Amino acid sequence: MALRVGIVGLPNVGKSTLFNAITKAGAESANYPFCTIDPNVGIVHVPDDRLKQLAKIVSPDRIVPAAVEFVDIAGLVRGASKGEGLGNQFLSHIREVDAIVHVVRCFQDENVVHVEGFIDPVRDIETIKMELILADMDAVQRRQAKLTGMIKSGDKKAKEEQTVLTKLMEEFDKGITANMIDFTPEEKELLKSVSLLTLKPVIYAANVHEESINHVENHSYIQSVVEIARMEKAEIIPVCAQIEAEIAELDEEEKGLFLEELGLKESGLDKLIRSAFSLLGLMTFFTAGTMEVRAWTIRKNTRAPQAAGTIHTDFERGFIRAEVVSYDAFTENNGLNGAREKGLVRLEGKEYIMQDGDIVHFRFNV
């Protein structure tokens, strides 16, 4: 399944630098607002050491990791919901992603201009949040206008939807985003009629100077973002976009040595990618053969036939059984045959709920 993550923020906060580091796509990055107009798109692999271990056992021709599609969306500014700074175009790009990485500038640098004139992460977050809320309010109002006629004709579902949207608008008036509201499953279903920007899950990427990356607990800018993330039940990951850009140019061995010198266990981007992957409740299962070892992305609680369908629709349509072994059992017994000898390979049916790390061979007939 395709996972799309949008990178947003005010102009000149480090979005494109971060995007370049993630994808090595060479998106233009410069010290002036609206450098990015059309969204740059790049595919990045999800870091997963399990693939290497599986490959050591199977010796496949190739390894295919899970992937995330990152979209570098141009910097939003105050008034974007009313069209300022090409805002309407940029907001439409956000509607097309599954989750948002909100890059927040948490560093001082007189050589890098700030669109508001000075650094204030709280103000910057509120600016973006309010523009998204205003855009959502406009979308909701248009939907409510359509529902009025449907309600007059006796449409009960339209009346239920109108009730939920009225509740939503009351929260918007308080500056509360849709993803902070505890909707029931039924209410969430009704909200699908409106493509809400503020319903998307958010990760805050606090962009800091290199010297601050190991001292985030004493960093006042970051701590202000931490407080906001805590209130919103969002995630926050401190990153240094400039360091990540340097790491992106290194091979795996050099990358490890560089991180060790910085006192880091892993790069901020690896944390960011994994967080984006898990934020939407996704997980991985594997297929492992001599042709390839591949990671497949599915949502948690997916049943075996639907998981098979991610490989090919015929697999789901003609599903018979799934031959399943856990990652631990596979690696501890040097592969499928060893796990089978220990009785650790299971045959699962249509009701089996996939587990993260399952290694599967699907039986099907069409």
CA atoms within 13 A on the CB side of 313: 0
- Bridge partners of 63? 293
Is 12 within any annotated ligand binding site?
Answer: yes
Q: What is residue 326's three-state secondary structure? A: coil
Is 167 within any annotated ligand binding site?
Answer: no
What type of residue is 255?
K
Is 71 within any annotated ligand binding site?
Answer: no
Query: Tokens 């295919």 sit at which residue?
Result: 64
- Measured in degrees and rounded to the nearest 5, phi and psi for residue 295 equal -95, 130
Which tokens go with 221?
């800018």
Cα 282 to the center of its chain, rounded Å: 10
Q: What is the distance between the alpha carbons of residues 6 and 15, in angstroms, rounded to a whole number?
A: 10
Is 40 within any annotated ligand binding site?
Answer: no
Q: What is the distance between the alpha carbons of residues 39 and 266, in angstroms, rounded to a whole number?
A: 28
Using CB atoms within 10 A of its CB, is residue 192 exposed (0-12), middle (13-18) or buried (19+)? exposed
Which tokens go with 306?
């639907």
Comparing C-alpha atoms, which of 128, 121, 103, 118 is closest to residue 223?
Answer: 121
Which helix (H) or strand (E) element contains residue 205? strand 202-207
Question: How far, CA to CA in Å, does 198 sit from each of 27, 46, 94, 130, 266?
Answer: 26, 25, 10, 10, 30
Is 13 within any annotated ligand binding site?
Answer: yes
Is 239 within any annotated ligand binding site?
Answer: no
What type of residue is 314?
D
Residue numbers in the known binding site for ATP are 12-17
Detail the residues annotated as belonging to a binding site. 12-17
